[in-house]
Amino acid sequence: MLKTYTFPEFDYVRSTDQDAADPVHHAVVIVGAGPIGMAVAIDFAQYGVNVVLLDDNNTVSVGSRAICYGKRFLDISDRLGVGQRAVDKGVTWSLGRVFFEDEEIYSFSVQPEKYHRRPGFINLQQYYLEEYMVDRIRELPEVDLRWKNKVTQVVQTDDHVCLTIDTPEGPYDLSADYLIACDGANSTVRSLAGLGFKGHVFRDRFLIIDIVMDSSPYPAERWFWFAPSFHEGQSALLHRQADNVWRINFDLGWGADPVEEKKPENITKRVKAFLGEEVNFELEWVSVYTFTCRRMDEFSNGRIFFAGDAAHQVAPFGARGANAGMEDADNLVWKMKAVMDGLAPARLLGSYSEERTFAADENILNSTRSTNFITPKNIQNIAFRDAVLNLAIKYPFARPLVNSGRLSVPPLLTKSSLNTEDVDHFDCKIVPGAPCTDGPVLRNGQAGFMLSSLGNCFNGLLFVDGQSDLTPGVMDQLTQLAQQKVPIKSFIVASDSMDITLPEDIELVVDIKGIVKQRLDAQAGTFYLIRPDQLVTARMRQFDQARVMSAQSKALGNE
């Protein structure tokens, strides 16, 4: 029980599968009803796929755990139907400040560009996010969410996976075409499958405290201190969350005693040294963490797939854990659906591990560098860090070298085997393998945003200067793309409204401020092909139906 939140308790409900004479077979079984497992389940449901979601608990996560969610996480959450609730409840922030001792050395913005629907980051306790996802699942009859269902055995064959599941009423068996493990860093499925989890454990300890303050002298920003007077020689981090809950991180060092550090009187002493004796606060949640950076060699094993912390784990500096896990879910589901429907070869599923292990390596590299800078372990690293901090006080060139946690951004999958390489020159950062950009648009006369217009299918963006660019031949070809076995829904992106009747499968969006066109370095005739997970997979200066079809075929793993 927290002071600001009452944990829901979800009922265990006996499934009809438990009464069947033989194990019931399902297309997809997901293990772990945390944010990533529920995201996978919701995404499948929105494709119309029935899934079983198993969790050995009967409530949401205890403690605030993950709190920082980036723009890409929120864009995906919008498509899943929970983004607005998260933003409404969460604390939006865009500014970070870095201090050396008690002097601010620089500040930075996490969203330097304007005109995006979602902010650079919000802070929200994980239990709220999970609660919103449970509510969303209740709207989706395709998801069978089973609480107090613990997987105790996993056996894989060539064409299915068999599971034994323990419940308050005893065990039962079922089978599935695919098993997706989203059951956290201590994954039961990974252990039962006999698979490894390799990486580095940092010999350090951090005290993580959530406190409740009705008033605070600090704004809703990310503040990080190196060697402050209130925590001499070490580091501290402050974040605001919903309900006037504040997250404080203290670096303790490897020699700290976790039991002693978690005693209320010792926590109170540290917090008062930080905030001042006059500040009133209540303890909400506390934990002592030892951080690790590690991952599986591959994120799939036969018909078992791993996502989120079950596949990879990073230190929290930079907010890469939940954000990367959501990108895992977004990457996997559309591919599995295409293979299940016979619209793509089985090797498309291999690209999940290819793309997401690359992303995990980038996240682990950045997380490791951050942790090593924040808590240097040898004389040379300490000397380097202190020299950088001292230089950063006076000289702007040194400030990018200060690493208080490189904040999560989606890794660019530029080397993905699903991309079609550019033939034409483009001068923008939205390259094949990058998420599509956003910007304000008018769609059907209603104000909205470009990313919100894209559904969970292949989408095409054709830029035009006016109605004269839409010849009958071009319209016929766009219609043919929309009527393929794997449809491509095209959007005509124009700078002004046009009095034109379009086929049902083609829409006009008006790029109100020209932002989408500018960010994609587009001109009349430019065409972008967007994957179902909103990543650019191909682009060309002039629309060419044959090239688009070839690029889509490659994105489906056919080449």
Helix H, strand E, coil C: the string for 395-414 is CHHHHHHCCCCCCCCCCCCC
Single out the residue of 198, 197, 204 nearest to residue 372, CA to CA: 204
Say yes or no to pLDDT of 149 above 80: yes
Q: Which is it for strands 304-306 and 300-301: parallel, antiparallel or unpaired?
A: antiparallel
Segments of 3-139 assigned E as strands: 24-31, 51-55, 68-70, 91-93, 95-100, 103-109, 121-123
Distance CA 351, CA 359 (A): 12
pLDDT at site 537: 98
Say yes or no to pLDDT of 447 above 80: yes
**Tally of CB atoms within 10 A around 50:** 14
Identity of the residue numbered 210: D
C-alpha separations of 315 from 64, 82, 319, 449 in Å:
16, 26, 8, 33
For residue 366, name the pLDDT band (cuts at 50, 70, 90): confident
Distance CA 273, CA 173 (A): 55
Kindly state the average pLDDT of the residues 273-279.
90
Contact assessment for residue 249 and residue 208, using Cβ atoms and an 8 Å cutoff: yes
Percent of the chain residues past pLDDT 90, beyond the cut: 79
What residues does 23 pair with on adjacent strands?
none
Distance CA 87, CA 121 (A): 9
Kindly state the average pLDDT of the residues 223-248.
93
C-alpha separations of 399 from 106, 363, 391 in Å:
7, 21, 8
pLDDT at site 57: 97
pLDDT in tens, 246-261: 999 999 988 899 999 9
Contact assessment for residue 179 and residue 192, using Cβ atoms and an 8 Å cutoff: no
Q: Which is it for strands 312-313 and 292-295: parallel, antiparallel or unpaired?
A: antiparallel
pLDDT at site 145: 98
Say yes or no to pLDDT of 225 above 80: yes
Percent of the chain residues past pLDDT 70, beyond the cut: 100
For residue 375, name the pLDDT band (cuts at 50, 70, 90): confident
pLDDT at site 253: 87
Identity of the residue numbered 107: S
Segments of 296-453 assigned E as strands: 300-301, 304-306, 312-313, 440-443, 446-449
Distance CA 202, CA 252 (A): 12
For residue 545, name the pLDDT band (cuts at 50, 70, 90): very high
pLDDT in tens, 59-73: 999 876 889 999 999
pLDDT at site 317: 74
pLDDT at site 64: 67
Say yes or no to pLDDT of 274 above 90: yes
Phi first, then psi, for residue 194 (nearest 5°) are 70, 30
Q: Among 61-70, 186-195, 525-534, which is the least confidently predicted range?
A: 61-70
Distance CA 118, CA 201 (A): 34
- DSSP letter at 57 equals S
Global pTM value? 0.96
Contact assessment for residue 344 and residue 556, using Cβ atoms and an 8 Å cutoff: yes
Alpha helices by DSSP H, 207-349: 258-261, 264-275, 321-340
**Maximum average pLDDT range among 204-213, 300-309, 318-327, 461-470:** 300-309
Count of alpha carbons within 13 angstroms of residue 138, beta-carbon side: 7
Q: pLDDT higher for 148 or 501? A: 148
Q: pLDDT higher for 508 or 408? A: 508
Mean pLDDT of the chain: 94
Identity of the residue numbered 253: G
Kindly state the average pLDDT of the residues 196-202.
87
For residue 17, name the pLDDT band (cuts at 50, 70, 90): very high
pLDDT at site 379: 87
Segments of 117-274 assigned E as strands: 121-123, 143-147, 150-156, 161-166, 172-181, 198-201, 206-212, 222-226, 235-240, 245-251
The residues, ordered by sequence, that sit 6+ positions from 158 with a Cβ below 8 Å of its Cβ are: 302
